[in-house]
Structure 1
Amino acid sequence: MIYKNLNDCVKDLESRGQLIRIKEEINPNLEIAEIHRRVYEQKGPALLFEKIKGSPFKGLSNLFGTIERSEYIFQDVLKKFEFLIKLKIDPTFALRNPGKTLMNLPSMLSSIPRKAWNNSIVNQTCKISQLPQIKSWQDDGGAFVTLPQVISFPPGSKKLKDANVGMYRIQLSGNEYEMDKEVGLHYQLHRGIGIHHKMYNESDKEFKISIGIGGPPSNTLASIFPLPEGLSEIIFSGILGQRAYRYNWQNGYFIPSEADFVITGKINKSKLKPEGPFGDHLGYYSLTHDFPVMEVDKIFHRKDAIWHFTVVGRPPQEDSSFGHLIHELVKSLTTHELPGIKEVHAVDAAGVHPLLLAIGSERYMPFRERKPEEIITQANLLLGKGQTSLAKFLFIAADEENSSLNLKNIPEFIIYCLERADFTKDLHFQTKTTIDTLDYSGSGWNSGSKLVLAVNREKQRELSIDRILLEKLLDLGFPAKYIDKGILAVKYSSFTTYINAETEIENLCKKLEQLDLKNIALITICDDVEFMSKNWDNFLWATFTRTNPSHDIYGVGSYTMHKHWASTGPLVFDARSKPHHAPPLLVSDELNKKVDQFIERSAELQQVFSA
């Protein structure tokens, strides 16, 4: 279905029982976020909050709260996008398939951006303080815009192809920001707005940006899409929405005409202010750092404006659906953009960037004994291109042995890799490099290391579960539990310093050498064995978000030869919490009680939780 604006989508979902209205007044300070989290966990409907305390505007969340609802919203484009992908891979496809070309031509032409004849959004204005001041987590630095569409152009350009639209979080209040005058702008590595910022710093022009909130769902999805250089999110939004992106200009600001709100302002090129903390999608707080400040000019809004927001935290959350949609739309492009790569999957449960899985090809020397060769080249390509370059751990396997190998079953793929990896040859470290801004496991902000596990061998070990081994570990003073076959969680005393940790874990590894570990591939040192071993999601999250490869990986029988680190026995990951890590996101008992009481008063929510 084609949605002209967010209201169209709301009406459609409500008519299908996929959206409910919350009529009682709700507190935007923590309570609205906890309700969202609980409804999301129940795979519940989208939520339209009609009365948000302190604001005249309605709020919408959980729009993309289920995979099924997200696919429904973009159902038509999922089919038509396949044609566009084939066209990109092979431009002659259109000539060879005239029927499909004619069938898709109308929607392609109708998606070309156009200036709006009706720019009524600029007739209504408000202040920052009138917007819903939604604070999601206890220690957040203030209220944030969580689904912003931040639009910038390079100096002197109004060409749509030059525009960058990104989802960079916006802090509305708190810290040192002057209410109604300033907001904070947070952007990370590998973001297009940074290029524009640098260009403005080198020019004498004002750095004007516009922040859209709401509008057709396609505007939101396009702003987070990993597009190739040269393809603007504005143009792409029209393709996703199957309708032209409407826009206009007002006093030098780009105005997305179908947005619900547009915040306009200038980036102060010489000013930074503390931004954060913010409970982020890794499941921890993104800490306070200095970031650019936007001096607010005007805030425009529709007459029937809806404040579109989400709540992020330890995955899975609503934004997990974005990853699914992106994967579905571009999966057939993988082999074209990444030669030799057959499949790529950033693991949501591990926080996305900490763990990347990939299936590659080995074609270099098919007549020789199997070993990782071409897949190492492919790993370098992944770590040197776009968003995949933010990966901290990369497990890549060739599918020569098993043509049905895929990434749908994450535990199965990881075990496949651990069974076949030769830990004396297949571990490739990158040290003192950049990692995701939100990942605090490294040696500094944006600084850390990476590990590639490249697999193309016969089975090296048969992984299994040995209960007698658990007893022997307990006798040595190390309570342990299995995550899965060949993967152990071992409790150890709390981390103090890396100097102490190196001594402690090397002593542990020496003790482990006394045991029969031929059926073990990975030992994870942790603070809480029960939590770590409860399920795979806990293991993936705690292990890969709390581990810095260069500092936290050890091995039973490890050594270094010609600058290559190797281990004759199982790998040992130190996944304990460390003093420099950001704190995890927690919900207080007091907040739980308040939300329990709110749900008891809400007939609509009662139906969600009793279903």
Structure 2
Amino acid sequence: PAAKAPILEVCQTPARLGELPLLTSWATDGGAFVTLPLVYTEHPDGRGHNLGMYRIQRYDDRTTGIHWQIHKGGGYHYHAAESRNESLPMTLFIGGPPALMLAAIAPLPENIPELMLASLLLGEKLPITRDPAGGHALVAHAEFAAKGFVPPHMRRPEGPFGDHYGYNSLTHDYPVFHIERLYHRRDAIYPATVVGRPRQEDFYIGDYLQDLLSPLFPLVMNGVRQLKTFGETGFHCLAAAKVTNRYPREAFASGLRILGEGQLSLTKFLILTDGEIEVTDFKKLWVHVLERINWQTDLFVFANVSQDTLDYTGPSVNNGSKAMMMGLGKEPRRILPESFHGDLPQGCGRAEIFLPGTLVVQGEGFAAQQDLPARLAHCPALADWQVVVLVDDARAATENLQEFLWTVFTRFEPAADIHAAATELRRFHPTLTPPIIFDCRLKPWYPEVLEVDEKTRRMVDEKISEILPSRYR
């Protein structure tokens, strides 16, 4: 009942959002952000709701930015309302049952209600209550609920923001949320998280959700036996799947199914295998695929397609390319080299073997040596290598698996940064001759890598020394 719902204990009209302890996580951030926002909207036609975690930048006590990227359910609702020149009612929940946060992040198909998933996770119906002032119902046990609207055709600069890819996403214009009233519990607790270079808290939440939803993948996508997206790359940059290949190239159809499914359609690099191997083990998977891939037929690059908003490797925001790489069959085609001897072209430094068949080479910066990938591809000493990864710092990129995945897959765009010793167009398909070069150097148009500023580092070190005994530091 509304009278007993904790969320209705206090109502601020007008709202005073400035009293909430929003975080400014990085010195380069454009302001303070709600980092665990639960944004609720409904389709203007009444065709379902969306609960999503879209970042919220506070402008003042009663307005915020709302970061609706491409392929987001709330953004579709806003597009429908804006096309009618109407405002979209919106409720911003903060806190409440953790199941709400999981449901908001879960990559559900567009028309599957997130509140239903939250109820399933809770094991009971999510308690909701009527808003005495009208509009959306309220989550009864949320800590805060800001009610308001997003007007059509209004934009304000939002960002920059240190995002979960590990870079400073740039400032862009986004819609504006106008808050009319703010409900909260009498002794509300404000939850927050720090967003930044993997691994952060969202990495573990994402992994848990994949484990939770994994039984659904074969049901929703026939032929997909196992699916993994890699949080080390921000999730959208890299995915792998174990698929069936009962007839020639069935694996390709399964790959297209993945690239056409909800938020999985934002995947930039997809690896497919039909082998009896766990795709969660990247090292074993990568070697297995390199042993079997036919570079004449098994690498597909799709240029001029959409790309995740936070991925700046493409030619412009939301635009880029995708690649699908297949390693099929029981028997390997080749034995992969595990040692390197020979001279590298001018402009290259150290070379590190990360995995059999994969050599990581340090090169001069992209701006000074744009032709370096082509020279590497024709280097005789590399003729036996399947993949050569060109990076700015080979030692850092090969320090561990996490550094390798983050460096490689967040810093290259398939259509622009894959090179080969020879490329020939056959039947409208580019056939490649190895070595295949991935140019994973930072490019001049990429945003800056997130780094802790020294002032903040010193402050934290001093406070830690005051709070924690030395044996715990």
Q: What is the TM-score normalised by the length of structure 2? A: 0.94
Match of 1:398 in 2: 274
For residues 161-208 of structure 1, the C-alpha deviation after alignment (integer angstroms, 9 at most, x for no partner) is: 712111111001xxxx3x112100001121111221122123365421
How much has 1:490 moved relative to structure 2?
A: 1.1
Inter-CA distance 297–516: structure 2 relative to 1 (3 Å threshold):
closer
Match of 1:152 in 2: 41
For residues 65-111 of structure 1, the C-alpha deviation after alignment (integer angstroms, 9 at most, x for no partner) is: xxxxxxxxxxxxxxxxxxxxxxxxxxxxxxxxxxxxxxxxxxxxxxx
Match of 1:307 in 2: 190
Q: Secondary structure at the match of 1:307?
A: coil
- Residue identity opposite 2:336 in structure 1: L
Match of 1:598 in 2: 463
CA separation in 1, counterparts of 2:180 and 2:120? Answer: 31
Q: Secondary structure at the match of 1:149?
A: strand
Q: Does 1:338 align with 2:221?
A: yes
Residue correspondence of structure 1 range 45-444 to structure 2 within 5 A = 116-124=2-10, 125=12, 127-155=16-44, 157=46, 162-172=48-58, 177=59, 179-203=60-84, 205-247=86-128, 248-254=130-136, 255-364=138-247, 373-399=249-275, 403=276, 405-444=277-316
Which residues of structure 2 form unaligned runs of 5+?
Answer: none
For residues 435-454 of structure 1, the C-alpha deviation after alignment (integer angstroms, 9 at most, x for no partner) is: 11110011110100011101
Residue 459 of structure 1 is aligned with which of 332, 354, 376?
Answer: 332
How much has 1:328 moved relative to structure 2?
A: 1.9
- Residue identity opposite 1:508 in structure 2: L
How much has 1:265 moved relative to structure 2?
A: 1.4
How much has 1:558 moved relative to structure 2?
A: 3.1
Q: Bigger radius of gyration, 1 or 2?
A: 1
Residue 341 of structure 2 is aligned with which of 449, 455, 468?
Answer: 468
Q: Secondary structure at the match of 1:494?
A: coil
CA separation in 1, counterparts of 2:348 and 2:260? Answer: 43
Q: Does 1:572 align with 2:458?
A: no
Q: Contact 2:86/2:151 (CA < 8 Å) preserved in 1?
A: no
Q: Does 1:485 align with 2:351?
A: no
Inter-CA distance 429–238: structure 2 relative to 1 (3 Å threshold):
same
How much has 1:249 moved relative to structure 2?
A: 2.3
CA separation in 2, counterparts of 1:465 and 1:230? Answer: 48
CA separation in 2, counterparts of 1:527 and 1:550? Answer: 20
- Residue identity opposite 1:568 in structure 2: T
Q: Secondary structure at the match of 1:325?
A: helix
How much has 1:477 moved relative to structure 2?
A: 5.1
Q: Secondary structure at the match of 2:106?
A: coil
For residues 569-589 of structure 1, the C-alpha deviation after alignment (integer angstroms, 9 at most, x for no partner) is: 221011010011111100122
Inter-CA distance 607–266: structure 2 relative to 1 (3 Å threshold):
farther
- Residue identity opposite 1:545 in structure 2: T
Residue correspondence of structure 1 range 13-32 to structure 2 within 5 A = none
Aligned residues between the structures = 467
Match of 1:68 in 2: none
Match of 2:398 in 1: 533
Inter-CA distance 251–207: structure 2 relative to 1 (3 Å threshold):
farther
For residues 488-510 of structure 1, the C-alpha deviation after alignment (integer angstroms, 9 at most, x for no partner) is: 1112211128xx62x33223322
Q: Contact 1:558/1:569 (CA < 8 Å) preserved in 2?
A: no
Inter-CA distance 245–607: structure 2 relative to 1 (3 Å threshold):
farther
Match of 2:321 in 1: 449
CA separation in 2, counterparts of 1:447 and 1:140? Answer: 24
Q: Secondary structure at the match of 1:443?
A: coil
Match of 2:387 in 1: 522
Q: Contact 2:363/2:390 (CA < 8 Å) preserved in 1?
A: yes
Q: Contact 1:553/1:572 (CA < 8 Å) preserved in 2?
A: yes
CA separation in 2, counterparts of 1:221 and 1:476? Answer: 47
How much has 1:326 moved relative to structure 2?
A: 1.2
Q: Contact 1:524/1:575 (CA < 8 Å) preserved in 2?
A: yes
Which residues of structure 1 form unaligned runs of 5+?
Answer: 1-114, 366-372
Match of 1:507 in 2: 375
Q: Does 1:555 align with 2:441?
A: no
How much has 1:229 moved relative to structure 2?
A: 4.2
How much has 1:135 moved relative to structure 2?
A: 0.7
- Residue identity opposite 2:376 in structure 1: L
Q: Contact 1:208/1:252 (CA < 8 Å) preserved in 2?
A: no
Q: Contact 1:474/1:480 (CA < 8 Å) preserved in 2?
A: no
Inter-CA distance 554–346: structure 2 relative to 1 (3 Å threshold):
same
Q: Percent identity?
A: 33
CA separation in 2, counterparts of 1:587 and 1:319? Answer: 19
| Between structures 1 and 2, the one with greater helix share | 1
Inter-CA distance 201–477: structure 2 relative to 1 (3 Å threshold):
closer
CA separation in 2, counterparts of 1:251 and 1:392? Answer: 45
For residues 355-414 of structure 1, the C-alpha deviation after alignment (integer angstroms, 9 at most, x for no partner) is: 11011001115xxxxxxx000010111111111111100010112xxx3x1123111111
For residues 505-557 of structure 1, the C-alpha deviation after alignment (integer angstroms, 9 at most, x for no partner) is: 223322x1x22632x21101111111112122111111111101011000123
How much has 1:464 moved relative to structure 2?
A: 2.8
**How well do the aligned residues superpose, as a CA RMSD in angstroms?**
2.0
How much has 1:154 moved relative to structure 2?
A: 2.1
Inter-CA distance 476–445: structure 2 relative to 1 (3 Å threshold):
closer
Q: Secondary structure at the match of 1:195?
A: helix
Q: Contact 1:155/1:203 (CA < 8 Å) preserved in 2?
A: no
Inter-CA distance 607–230: structure 2 relative to 1 (3 Å threshold):
farther
How much has 1:300 moved relative to structure 2?
A: 1.3
CA separation in 2, counterparts of 1:186 and 1:304? Answer: 29
CA separation in 1, counterparts of 2:278 and 2:225? Answer: 9
CA separation in 1, counterparts of 2:85 and 2:324? Answer: 44
